[in-house]
């Protein structure tokens, strides 16, 4: 993931900021919007934000499974 890439252009929120919010416990679109301000402009990025959140959570699950084995 390119952490510098912008996920929300209206609020200049990067992939990295979304990732940090999800890893910090924001596990829903609403929580990520509250934590980062993303999605509060035109709203067009919201579907993509949901996809990104799912992707990051899957990555975290994989990491957790690795840690157990």
User: What's 8's DSSP letter?
Assistant: E
Residue 11 or 23: which CB sits closer to ligand FES?
A: 11
Q: Is 44 helix (H, G, I), strand (E, B) or coil?
A: coil
- What residues line the site for ligand FES (CB under 6 A)? 8-11, 38-45
Min dist CB 22 to ligand FES, Å, is: 16
Min dist CB 27 to ligand FES, Å, is: 19
Task: Indicate the angle between helix axes 29-36 and 46-68, nearest 10 degrees.
Answer: 100
Min dist CB 52 to ligand FES, Å, is: 12
Residue 23 or 40: which CB sits closer to ligand FES?
A: 40
Two tokens, residue 12: 């200049």
């Amino acid at each position: 993931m390119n952490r510098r890439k912008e996920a929300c252009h209206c609020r200049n929120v990067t992939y990295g900021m979304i990732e940090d919010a999800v890893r910090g416990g924001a596990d829903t679109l609403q929580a990520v919007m509250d934590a980062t301000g993303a999605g509060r402009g035109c709203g067009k990025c919201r579907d993509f934000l949901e996809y990104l959140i799912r992707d990051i959570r899957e990555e975290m699950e994989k990491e957790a499974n690795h840690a157990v084995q």
